[in-house]
C-alpha cells in the first residue's frame, strides 16, 4: 500500500510530495515502511531498493525504493542500486 502526502513533520528532509510505501517481502511477515523518491506508486507495483552511497546521512532515509526498471540516471543525487 502507499500514501502520498503534501504535509510533513517538523524535522522532515524529504522532498514534497512524499510517497510513503509499504514494501512486502515474499515469505516474510514484516512489512517495511519506506519512501519512493522517483515515480508514482501503485498497488502491486514491483520495486527495488536504492541506497544513498555518496555522502550518506546514516539515517533510515538512506534507503528508499523505486519501481523495477527505473534507470540509474533517474535516481536522486547520491543514490545507487547498491
pLDDT tens digits, one per residue of 17-56:
999 999 999 999 999 999 999 999 999 999 999 999 999 9
pLDDT tens digits, one per residue of 67-79:
999 999 999 999 9
Q: What does the alpha-carbon distance between residue 30 and residue 25 come to, in Å, rounded to a whole number? A: 8
What pLDDT shows up at residue 36?
A: 97
% of the chain surpassing 70 pLDDT: 99
Cα angle at 53 between 10 and 14, to 5 degrees? 20
**What is the overall mean pLDDT for the chain?**
93
Q: What is the pTM of this model?
A: 0.90
Which triple of cell numbers denotes residue 60?
Answer: 533510515
Amino acid at each position: 500500500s502507499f500514501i502520498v502526502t503534501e504535509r510533513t513533520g517538523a524535522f522532515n528532509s524529504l522532498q514534497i510530495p512524499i510517497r510513503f510505501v509499504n514494501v512486502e517481502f515474499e515469505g516474510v511477515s514484516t512489512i517495511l515502511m519506506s519512501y519512493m523518491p522517483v515515480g508514482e506508486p501503485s498497488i502491486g507495483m514491483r520495486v527495488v531498493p536504492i541506497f544513498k552511497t555518496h555522502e550518506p546521512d546514516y539515517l533510515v532515509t538512506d534507503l528508499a525504493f523505486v519501481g523495477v526498471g527505473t534507470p540509474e540516471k533517474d535516481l536522486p543525487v547520491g543514490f545507487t542500486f547498491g
